[in-house]
Structure formats: structure tokens, C-alpha cells
Structure 1
Amino acid sequence: MLAIFEKAALEAGKAILEVYRSGYAVALKQDMSPVTIADERAEHIILEHLTRDFPDIPAIAEESVSAGKIPDIRGRSFFLVDPLDGTREFIEHRDEFTVNIAYIQNGAPVTGIVYAPALGIAFTGESGEARKLTITDQFTVADRSIIAVRARSEHLLALASRCHSSPQTDSFLTENAVSACTSIGSSLKFCLLAEGKADVYPRFSRTMEWDTAAGDAVLRAAGGSTLTLDGRPLAYGKTDQSEDSDFANPSFICWGGGKSPADV
């Protein structure tokens, strides 16, 4: 499965970069979030691969959901696809945007890839093993190295969303004696935790499952955890939510060392 994810992500990344380097129009979706032709082309490419190779597994993809195409995944394993995570970074010409594909089984992300085409790097997670990939200008894999979260130290380094920070984030950093905080866009935050470059990523503003699943799969495979505020692993396939829309996430905290806030 991961080999198909890689092929689909690299092909989608190539299409995204063609748009990124040539100029593009920006539209607003119904929820007022931005979308470009790059999002749409990348999603088409990814879904084409997944449908051909895994015809019996439904896919929940961001742009398809926006268009009202939502397969029933209740009680089933399924894919989560964010063809271009970090659209605001893309529009502002910051290279941190990513392609995200994940496989969800029993509510948990068990396989995933996060590909940052403008940076020439990708991260994968599957079966308890996470890797960082170096991608060439020809969109081939030049190198693969195993990554893992780092041991917890006294001085915690946190990651925060560049576009979606909040007063709750500031309070969390103060309460947990975080000594430094780095802002970065897209699902790369999960991947920096996975490769041992930071300790914690608190997220109190809204996210959707396709925003987090692939990065979460990488982090969990590297030995980290993504926990809701009550200390439970973040679950996927959340439908019929009375307090929010289908596939919306609650607040969560990612830990590189696999510990919850109560352990700090």
C-alpha cells in the first residue's frame, strides 16, 4: 500500500509544482477557505491511483467532500486525502505545503505519507516504522532513512501553526514550561516531531481529519502520539457529530516522546 501512496503523492506533487511555478488563480470554497487548481489536479491524480489499486476501499478527500461527494465509511477502513495541505502557504509562496494520504483502520491512521514537493522531502509511516525520504528534481526517491522521536528533555521545544495559533496555545506553552516555540505550516509539524526535532505540538483551533491523518500516521509510527485533551488517541472516521461537522477534529496535543500532558 505504501508504494502506491508514494507513487500517487509524487505524481500529485509534480502537478502541484507546475502550478506553483507558473501562476494560478485562487477561489474561495463555501467555508471561505482558499482553493486553487493545484488542489483539484492533485486530488484527481491521487484518487485515480487509489480507485484503480484499491477499488473496494472508500476515500474521503477534501475537495470531493467540499463538492458533496462523501462515501459512507461507517464501520469500514478508508483513505483520508488532503491533496494540498497548507494552501495558504502555497498562495503566499512559502514552501511548507504538503500532499497527504493516509489509510485508516479501526479509527487509527496505520499508513501514511506526507510529501513536501517544494522542499524535496517526504515522510512515511507504516507498521511501526517511520522514514524520511529525499526526493530528486525528477520526482524519484534518492534516499530513505529511519526516523524516531527523541527522548524527552527538561527544555521542551514546541511547534505551533503559523496561521492558526490561539490564546489557548500560549497558555499551554506557559503551563508546560516550554522553553522555545517554532511556527511552521501544514502537516510538517507532525513530521518534525517524528524525526526528533521537537517535543510537542498543541492544536486548539479547528482541523479536519484529512489535515492530520497522514502526519499522525508518521508520528505514531515513529513512537509519538496524538491525544485529545482527555488523554485518548485522536480517532478518525468521526461522523454524526452533534457538536461539529463530520470529520472535524477536537483539540489535540501531539507528543514526540509518547507522553501525555499529565506526565510532564
Structure 2
Amino acid sequence: MKMSASENDKSNGETLSAILEQTALEAGCAIMQFYDGQCGVFAKPDQSPVTDADHAAERIILAALARALPGVPVVAEEEAAAGRLPEKLGARFVLVDPLDGTREFLARNRDFTVNIALIEEGVPVLGVVYAPARNLLFTAANGQAEEVETSPDHMITKRRPISVRRSADALVAVASRSHQTPETAAWLERHNMEHCVSVGSSLKFCLIARGQADIYPRFGPTMEWDTAAGDAILRAAGGMTVRPDGSTLFYGRGSGKGVAAFCNSHFIAYGPAAAQIVTPV
């Protein structure tokens, strides 16, 4: 069996997945220094907030990726916002959101994450999502998903495999805490979703991956770097992310130019327990 490029990567004896885990931990540690102290806040051209923590985390991640994956294009949120995008992606590239859930970070709740995902042929094949304020890391590699506990100083202490739940007496949905839309609310009502958990950032994907929820409908704007890492974890745990018509959500195949090329379509992320309410192709 032919191995994917991600399975063959080595750097100083470490697998790429281990490097991405360590990178996310280091970025999370830097973010928490700002969370517990002073942090400058600025407005992007679209008026969304960006902080010193976003920039510090992104610098750490970009430096690590340059060492681990030389020559592989990287699309990172703050670099993209500054107009710095790879000239050509190719079949293999990395998506980075250094601080997903900046509004949650500023509100001082714990629903913010570091997201790093490796994309191959449009599919997220490797991903890490680290919630540093929760000391929880989620990772996907080689078709397996894990939940990793960390210490207060962001060292790995325990890890366990996770998977989606196959059935449920009552489906549980997850929805955005800061970006709820009327379209999403209408979808939830139309499908009689009585149980809905509001949570920020890519943790929504992770709740499905660990079997705590079943479906995440998103009928509102998102970018590929917002979702790719969480999507990788969900797929490795046995779930899937599709467009509303049931077709698979792919990455790096947008039709726009510049940053607009990385806008997601609306999507539904789900586990097997909710498969019956997702529209097939």
C-alpha cells in the first residue's frame, strides 16, 4: 500500500504529527501569556478583531512549519489578512488559524484554539486543535483521532483515542457561540434539534469527534483555516463534513481570488448518528 506524503515526513526523528502537536502546544503557551497579561487588540480591514496573541502564535507556527515542511505552501490567517498568500498551492499545503475564536479569547472564556491542518488533494489528512485554556489537544493522523490532556505548563500528560458515536436516542447539535445566523437557527428548528450546545471555535468539530454531540450545521461565513483542523479530527474519528447538498467539503479549490478563494461554502459536520438527516448527493 502506498503511503501518503504526510505519513512519510520525518524531521529530526519525529513524525510530522508529533511536530504539529508540539508546535500547537508552544503556540498555545504563548497565547496564554497574553490571556493572563496585557494584550494589544486591533481591527482588521473587515473590522474583525486581531490581537498580539494571534500574531505571536502565528510566528511560532510559521517558523516550525518552515523547518518541518520546507517548500510546502502555508496559508495562515494573519498572513492572508496582510495580503501574503502563496502564489500556488499545488496538491499539498497547510492551513493555519493561530487563534481561532479571537472573540472568545477577548471575552475571557475558554473556547479558543490553535488550528493547524495538512491538506492533500483537497482533503484534511493531518490536524491538531489545541484549546490551551482547557489544556486539551485534539489530533488526527493516519486515520486515527486522539484527545490529549496537558499540564498547566502545556506538557502532554495523557492521551486516549476518540471516535464519534454511532447512535443516539436524541441527537445533540452544536452551534457557534459568537456567529449564530438565522439560517442556522432555522435549520435546527426544521430538523427538531431540541438539544443544542453553543461553543466557540473548532471545538464544535471536536465535540462530535469525541462522541459528545452529533451534528454541526453552519450556514454562515467561515474560512478554510477556521475548519480544516477540526474537520481532519472529525473525519479521523469516523465523521464527515459535507455541503448542504451532501457533497464532500474540499479545501483549496475555491473559485475566488486572494483571500476570497479560501471562503468555505455552508456545511454540515456530523457523525453516523445524524447521517439520516443529512441530504445525500
TM-score range, shorter chain: over 0.9
Equivalent AA in structure 1 for residue 87 of structure 2 = D
- Per-residue displacement from partner, 1:6-29 (whole Å, max 9, x unpaired)? 111011011000011002121000
Corresponding residue for residue 102 of structure 2: 87
User: Which residue is equivalent to 2:49?
Assistant: 34
Q: What residue number does 1:47 align with?
A: 62
Rounded to whole Å, the distance in 2 between the matches of 1:138 and 1:205 is: 36
Aligned residue among 128, 139, 150 for 1:124 = 139
CA distance in 2, matches of 1:10, 1:110: 20
Is it true that 1:262 corresponds to 2:279 in the alignment? yes
Task: Please report the TM-score for the alignment, with normalisation by the length of structure 2.
Answer: 0.90
- Aligned AA for 2:113? T
**Where do residues 56-135 of structure 1 align in structure 2 (5 Å cutoff)?**
56-135=71-150
Deviation >3 Å, runs of 4+? none
How far, CA to CA, are the matches of 2:49 and 2:189 in structure 1?
32
| Structure 1 residue 154, shift from structure 2 partner | 4.1
Corresponding residue number in structure 2 for 1:248? 263
Q: Identity of aligned pairs, percent?
A: 48
Distance in 2 (alpha carbons) for counterparts of 1:196 and 1:216 = 14
| CA positional deviation for 1:212 | 0.2
Q: 2:149 touches 2:158 (CA, 8 Å); kept in 1?
A: yes
CA drift of 1:245 comes to: 1.2
TM superposition score normalised by structure 1: 0.96
Which letter does structure 2 place at the counterpart of 1:5?
A: L
Tell me the distance in 1 between the aligned counterparts of 2:37 and 2:97: 22
1:6 aligns with 2:21: yes
SS across alignment from 2:167: coil
Residue 194 of structure 2 aligns to a residue in which SS?
Answer: strand
List gaps (5 residues or longer) in structure 1.
Answer: none
Q: CA deviation at 1:179?
A: 2.2
2:164 is aligned, of 149, 164, 171, to 149
Residue in structure 2 matched with residue 235 of structure 1 by the alignment: 250
Q: How many Å separate the matches in 1 of 2:34 and 2:153?
A: 16
Hey, what's the Cα distance between the residues in 1 that align with 2:208 and 2:88? 29
Are 2:244 and 2:279, in contact at CA under 8 Å, matched by a contact in 1?
no
Superposition deviation, residue 172 in structure 1 = 1.2
> Which letter does structure 2 place at the counterpart of 1:132?
E
Taking the aligned partners of 1:238 and 1:70, their CA distance within structure 2 comes to: 15
- CA distance in 2 between partners of 1:22 and 1:75 (Å): 40
Q: For the Cα contact (< 8 Å) 2:73–2:89, is it kept in 1?
A: no
Query: Do 2:129 and 2:202's aligned partners in 1 also have CA atoms closer than 8 Å?
Result: yes
C-alpha separation between the residues in 2 aligned to 1:129 and 1:171?
34
Q: Which sections of structure 2, spanning at least 5 residues, go unmatched?
A: 1-15
- Rounded to whole Å, the distance in 1 between the matches of 2:38 and 2:148 is 28
Deviations 1:212-253 (A, max 9, x none): 0000000000000100011111110034328x9110001000
1:139 to 154, 157, 162: 154
Q: Paired residue for 2:200?
A: 185
DSSP 3-state at the match of 2:71:
coil
- Counterparts of 2:18 and 2:168 in 1: how far apart (Å)? 35
Say what the alpha-carbon RMSD is for the aligned residues.
Answer: 1.4
Would the aligned equivalents of 2:245 and 2:279 in 1 still touch at CA under 8 Å?
no
Q: What count of residue pairs does the alignment treat as equivalent? A: 262
C-alpha distance 219-73 of structure 1, shift in aligned 2 (>3 A): farther
Aligned to 1:223: 238
Q: Secondary structure at the match of 2:133?
A: coil
